[in-house]
Structure 1
Amino acid sequence: MLIDALLMAKPHEVSSRAESLAATGIDGIFTFEGPHDVFLPLILAADTGCHLYTNVAIAFPRSPMHLAHTAWDLADLSGGRFSLGLGSQIKAHVERRYGSTWSSPVGRMREWVEAIRAIGRTWQDGDPLEYVGEHTRHTLMTPAFEPGSLPSGPPPIWLGALGPAMTRLATTVADGMLIHPFTSDRHLADVTLPRIRAGLEAAERPRSDLTVVGQAIVACATDPATQADADTAARWMIAFYGSTPAYVPVLETEGRGHLHPELRALSREGRWDEMAAMVDDDLLHAVVLRGDPAQVASRLVARFGYDFDRVALSTPGGITDEALSALVTETRVATAS
């Protein structure tokens, strides 16, 4: 099981931050669609030797051609150590934040994956470009716009999936699947993993065909004061996700479905501190992997060690490089034992 860390820094600090993360011994570096561009930091992380991926880039505001070019260049720059992680986001953000169009998210995502693959075959193998879908079409490629083949081949496409329909799509057409970090041991075991197994069986694909990336909200510290701050940040993140309808099933799995209407009402009023206070210790422990590096490593292995290929660490309260390095070491020891 490989361990990956989030690269998040202001643009002028990205290069040094990427080097610091790599020095902790992590295996991969990922970015997310947050306050800065999701792709540009990975350019500066290309020389770290870590695997790089977007977790996730929002697909629909970008055309498949834009995504194909960016992924191709990052794969070339990193020597084949890049995977294109795509997500759909929700209608409000796609329409009102990105100013793009929203319809049939699962159908559109399938076409985005198929179109990027078709473009890749043209660049890699010289196949004529002829992709016509309901939502996108690509039928023109001249030599002036071809980047040339890659020694490593086209970069893998990973899909962020939460619900049953997107999970079926990911297990059918993607090279990898990114599990959402808002989950619990019970929800993974009872809901997510059975969906993945059923999807692969229906698609007649072996498990080895799909890179499964687990994600975890982590609050890891070596002293009580820092742990308390990390726990508070984790409570806020749980409350934020819990206010969104798409994540209600996780609350329901943990017997907390009744929290959603209250959290949603508070979020609309901007009462964020009150939302975090609604997350009790039992729910915090069910969702968040928390404690010192050895304790978190034990939880990581118990939750992800036997069914997942990689784990991406979401650390809303931050984590020191020393604690991260210790966590990586402890996890490898626990995995090997």
Structure 2
Amino acid sequence: MKVYTAIYGPANAVERTAALREMGVSGVFTFEGPHDVFAPLTLASTVGDMDLLTNVAIAFPRNPIHLAHQANDLQLLSSGRFTLGLGTQIRPQIEKRFGVEFGRPTARMGELVAAVRAIFDCWNTGTRLDFRGEYYRHTLMTPTFNPGPNPFGPPPIFVGALGPRMTRTAAEVADGLLVMPFNSARYLRERVLPAVWEGLAVGGRDPRTFTILPEVIVAVGDTDEEQAAADAATRKLLGFYGSTPAYRPVLELHGWGDLQTDLNALSKRGRWQDMARLIDDDILETIAARGKPAQVAADIRDRVGGISDRVCFYQPYAPSDRTMGELVGYLTGDR
């Protein structure tokens, strides 16, 4: 199994990527947090033999031309090991933080992927750029701004999703699906997979050409102290995620729908510690893979077995490199 995990910011991107490579990690990803999502991967591309992934770059505040240039350059720098992962974020973040329109996100995402593909096609095959959609229009590409064919081909485009509509859209138009981390083994199989098959059918696509890349929240510890720290950080993360209406379906599937209402009310009052206390052991161990490295590895295999040969770790608490290396070893077959 291939294991991907996050790097955080540009300051130590090269050193951390090299260390993860030594642990047996196959690739690194970035997300839209306090740092730019592309810059750390530019630095990480110098390490070599590591897959690179944005997980995810927020799509709507960016223009398809910007995304195409950034993705094309990273594909070049990484010798063909880059994947452009795109996501929508939630309405308040898009409208209030980025200051752009959010309406009809599934339709907009489908068109954005098509626009980026049209730009890639123009650069790689010489096809005239003539993309005219409802949200995006690209009809000019003069030689000055055309990088020409990428020797490694255009990078694949993955879309991050969890709900059925965006999951269907990802399966219909993208090269892969990034399953967002607030999920469970049951939700993955009962909700995500059916939406994937529907999208593939609508798009008339071969399932063998589509990649499902699950992300799993990992609370791993090799000592009681490390496990306690991992559990505490994970409860905070699950409380934060659970307060968001977009993630209510995961809780409802397990009979915890009212928890979302309670968490949301607490979040509006800034009672973050109280939110974490509502995450009991049953919720923690259903949504996160928790325990010692061998136990977490077995849980991950049970979750994604038969679905994917890759997994992304989401770690709200950074375990020791020894613990991390042990977990990776169980999953990659090195232990």
- When the two structures are superposed, what TM-score results if normalisation uses the length of structure 1? 0.96
Determine helix, strand or coil for the equivalent of 1:12: coil
Q: Which residue of 1 aligns with 2:258?
A: 258
Indicate the SS of the match to 2:34.
coil
1:99-114 aligned at under 5 Å gives the runs 99-114=99-114
1:103 CA displacement: 1.6
**Is the partner of 2:178 in helix, strand or coil?**
strand
CA contact (8 A) 2:239 2:276 kept: yes
- Residue 324 of structure 1: how far off its partner (Å): 1.5
Q: Secondary structure at the match of 2:197?
A: helix
Return the alpha-carbon distance in structure 1 between the equivalents of residues 96 and 204 of structure 2.
39
Q: Does 1:39 align with 2:38?
A: yes
Alignment of 1:1-337 (within 5 A): 1-9=1-9, 11-48=10-47, 49-333=49-333
SS in structure 2 of the partner of residue 258 of structure 1: helix
SS at match of 2:29: strand
Q: Match of 2:282, as an amino acid?
A: D
The runs of 5 or more residues in structure 1 that have no matched partner are none
| 1:12 to partner: Cα distance | 2.3
Aligned residues: 334
CA distance in 2, matches of 1:191, 1:308: 16
Q: Is the 8 A contact 2:167 2:196 kept in 1?
A: yes
Does the CA contact (< 8 Å) of 1:18 and 1:44 recur in 2? no
Taking the aligned partners of 1:199 and 1:129, their CA distance within structure 2 comes to: 27
Residue identity in the other structure for 2:124: Q
Answer yes or no: is the 8 Å Cα contact 2:14–2:46 preserved in 1: no
Structure 1 residue 101: Cα displacement: 1.8
C-alpha deviations, 1:70-111, integer Å up to 9, x for none? 000000000010000000111111111112222211111111
Q: How much has 1:171 moved relative to structure 2? A: 0.6
Shift of 1:130: 0.2
C-alpha distance in structure 2 between counterparts of 1:279 and 1:111, whole Å: 38
What residue identity is the alignment partner of 2:314?
A: S
After superposition, the C-alpha distances for 1:23-81 in whole angstroms (9 at most, x for unaligned) are 11111110000110000000111033111010000000000000000000000000010
The SS at the match of 1:155 is: coil
Task: Supply the AA of the counterpart residue of 2:296.
Answer: V
Counterpart Cα distance in 1 of 2:13 and 2:175: 28
1:47 counterpart SS class: coil
Could you list the runs of 4 or more consecutive aligned residues of structure 1 that deviate by over 2 angstroms after TM superposition? 201-204
C-alpha deviation, 1:173, in angstroms: 0.6
| Rounded Cα–Cα distance in structure 2 between residues aligned with 1:185 and 1:286 | 8
Deviation at 1:189, TM superposition (A): 1.8
Match of 2:28, SS state, is strand
Partners of 1:59 and 1:319 in 2: CA distance: 31
**2-structure distance, mates of 1:309, 1:243:** 31
Post-superposition Cα deviations, 1:267-311, rounded to whole Å, max 9, x if no partner, equal 011110000000111111111101111111101111112211321
Separation in 2 of the partners of 1:150 and 1:203? Answer: 27
For 1:13, the aligned partner's letter is N
The TM-score, its normalising length taken from structure 2, stands at: 0.97
Cα distance in 2 for partners of 1:96, 1:167 equals 25
Q: Percent identity?
A: 48
| Structure 2: distance between partners of 1:6 and 1:313 | 7
Contact 2:129 2:141 in 1 (8 A): yes
